[in-house]
């Protein structure tokens, strides 16, 4: 009997040991209308091939010695007659929790994509007129606040803290086809967006690009359109910190829901019910207030200034985050005078995205967009971030 128990114990320990030596990557393959696709070939470059099951799901069990959490991997998908509709997920960083962050690959019927083969985005940099936009040389994926699992080719940041800022890129495109092209549209594609709201440090200012020779893209109010999809939630790290500090479960449960702590905090500060309703109906107008309200709510709830006692990484602890929204939306404009591009000809221009910091969530992955008589061309993935600030004060 004892020998049998010891044998079982040894087997269990062995299985746990094997599991700890593996890095798990999970995901699913589906159509744009969320229909799951079975028997799709999925490959992590350098690893083995797997196929999706009847539910469209796949799983890799990778050696932990070679594949570590946070490591960049490249994925290839093969399904005859189909193409990947969201190719940004084919280069990602291995998530720490495969259950919480599965890789979702969307497929669509294969189409002719001659536009990308005809036109190339040869160079993208900050336009000289945009003094507050800078390119970040260090990949932002190393920042623990970076919410996406997608690798980008370039990273841009609006700095210092600004409000209602335009952003301008100095763009050079090139005709790489064997015949002339006619450029008819310019714009950008919004791939993924989310909102992070942290306690901003320092002064903030308002800037706007001086308009001269440039193409200007009017951006719809994506922030308002997303509505409740941009409701803030506190991070798991802060919840863990509060539990370690002995904060009671009822308070922690309340903190998990943005509406709960807002509705409790605002009356405490003398805000009327009508003011609260106004905030909820016009979130974009009072954008940036949540981080301040949240700090004071923490003070009130705990009866102490938690911020003063935070360890290194306190800013990350006091971050409010939203869910990631996949938009895959193109914002474009017709060129009043189409541009004729000879074979091998470059074309350099300034592309300004009007009121970017007012209309967009503050973290996004985009691609620049161009359309010619031969089709659509998209740039590599570009990351843009800015710090949220208070737009207006809410009247008591």
Confidence of residue 394 (pLDDT cuts 50, 70, 90): very low
The mean of the pLDDT values for the chain is 75
Residue 69 has a pLDDT of 86
Buried b (16+ CB within 10 A) or exposed e, 24-41: bbbbbbbeeeeeebeebe
Whether 201 shows a pLDDT value over 60: the answer reads no
Whether 121 shows a pLDDT value over 90: the answer reads yes
**How far apart, in Å, are the Cα atoms of 180 and each of 117, 119, 348?**
13, 10, 16
Name the 3-class secondary structure at 343: coil
Residue 57 has a pLDDT of 94
Q: Find the range with the poorest average confidence among 36-50, 247-261, 331-345.
A: 247-261
| Residue 250: CB atoms within 10 Å | 8
Whether 307 shows a pLDDT value over 50: the answer reads no
Confidence of residue 186 (pLDDT cuts 50, 70, 90): very high
Whether 215 shows a pLDDT value over 60: the answer reads yes
Preceding amide of 160 cis, omega within 30: yes
Residue 96 has a pLDDT of 81
pLDDT in tens, 78-102: 888 788 888 888 888 888 888 888 9
Ordered domains of the chain (ranges, CATH) = 2-109 (2.60.40.1120), 114-228+323-385 (2.60.40), 232-321 (no CATH)
Average pLDDT over residues 208-227: 71
């Amino acid at each position: 009997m004892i020998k049998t128990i010891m044998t079982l114990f040894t087997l269990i320990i062995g299985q746990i040991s094997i599991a700890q030596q593996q890095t798990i990557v999970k995901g699913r393959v589906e159509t744009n209308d969320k229909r799951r696709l079975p028997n799709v070939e999925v490959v992590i470059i350098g690893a083995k091939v797997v196929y999706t099951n009847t539910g469209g799901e796949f799983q890799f069990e990778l050696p932990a010695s070679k594949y570590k959490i946070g490591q960049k991997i490249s994925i290839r998908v093969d399904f005859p007659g189909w193409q990947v509709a969201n190719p940004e997920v084919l280069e990602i960083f291995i998530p720490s929790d495969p259950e919480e962050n599965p890789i979702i690959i969307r497929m669509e019927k294969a189409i002719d994509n001659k536009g990308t083969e005809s036109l190339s985005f040869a160079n993208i940099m900050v336009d000289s007129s945009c003094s507050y936009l800078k390119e970040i040389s260090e990949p932002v994926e190393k920042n623990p606040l970076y919410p996406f699992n997608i690798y980008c080719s370039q990273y841009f940041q609006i700095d210092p803290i600004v409000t209602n800022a335009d952003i301008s890129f100095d763009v050079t495109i090139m005709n790489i086809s064997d015949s002339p092209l006619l450029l008819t549209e310019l714009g950008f594609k919004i791939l993924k967006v989310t909102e992070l709201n942290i306690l901003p440090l320092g002064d903030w200012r308002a800037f706007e690009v001086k308009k001269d020779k440039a193409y200007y893209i009017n951006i719809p109010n994506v922030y308002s359109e997303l509505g409740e999809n941009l409701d803030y939630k506190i991070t798991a790290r802060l919840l863990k910190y509060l539990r370690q500090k002995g904060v009671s479960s009822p308070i922690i449960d309340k903190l998990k829901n943005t509406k709960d702590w807002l509705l409790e905090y605002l009356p405490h500060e003398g805000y009327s019910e009508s003011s609260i309703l106004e905030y909820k109906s016009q979130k974009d107008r009072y954008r940036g207030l949540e981080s301040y309200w949240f700090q004071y709510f923490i003070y009130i709830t705990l009866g102490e200034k938690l911020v003063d006692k935070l360890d290194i990484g306190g800013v990350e602890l006091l971050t409010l985050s939203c869910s990631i929204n996949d938009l895959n939306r193109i914002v474009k404009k017709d060129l009043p005078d189409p541009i004729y591009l000879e074979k091998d000809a470059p074309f350099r221009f300034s592309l300004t995205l009007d009121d970017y910091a007012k209309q967009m969530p503050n973290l996004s992955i985009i691609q620049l967009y161009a359309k010619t008589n031969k089709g659509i061309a998209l740039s590599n993935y570009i990351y843009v971030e800015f710090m949220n600030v208070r737009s207006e004060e809410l009247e008591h």
